[in-house]
Amino acid sequence: MDCSFIRRNLFSYQEHQLSGKDNKEFEAHLHSCSECSRIVSEFQSVTSVIELRKTEEPNPFAGTRIIQKLESEMESTREKTNPLYLRILQPLSVAALLVIAVIIGFSIVIQREPGISAIINHQQDIQAIQSDLNIQDFVDEDETFFAIK
């Protein structure tokens, strides 16, 4: 048995997977080769960490923290899943309030600005004159402007 067999079968030796004959030769080689013996001992020392890790236990309060996390998640999903009518009514009422606010604002501006109300009054006067002259009775639509002049 040579050194390369030893180095290729470290797990097999550790897990008792070698045949009886191979196992005997493996151990005989270790007695005669100090380098392989050192490597096997280092290998066993490092892989013993696996067994050590299995014995380590998590924090006993880890479960409580998980439950708390799940409860806060439940709370936030409940907030997100409001009833359907609320999800429709809320944006609709906000939109309606906005429209009302714009209308109120616009009417206030019209009342306070003399320029705007003058223009509206002027347009109303023109309409009154047009109806008095009865322009539509004797001119074409395209010539309305000239007819008024």
Q: How far is the CB of 37 from other proteins (least distance, A)?
A: 12
Select from 44, 45, 33 the least CA-distant residue to 10.
44
* Contacts to other proteins from residues 35-94, by CB under 8 A: 35, 38-39, 42-43, 45-50, 52-54, 56, 58-59, 62-63, 65-67, 69-71, 73-74, 77
Is 119 a binding residue for other proteins by CB under 8 A? The answer is no
| Contact in structure between 43 and 75 (CB atoms under 8 Å) | no
Where does the chain have alpha helices with state H? 3-8, 10-14, 20-32, 34-54, 62-80, 84-112, 114-133, 144-148
List of residues contacting other proteins (CB under 8 A): 7-8, 10-11, 35, 38-39, 42-43, 45-50, 52-54, 56, 58-59, 62-63, 65-67, 69-71, 73-74, 77
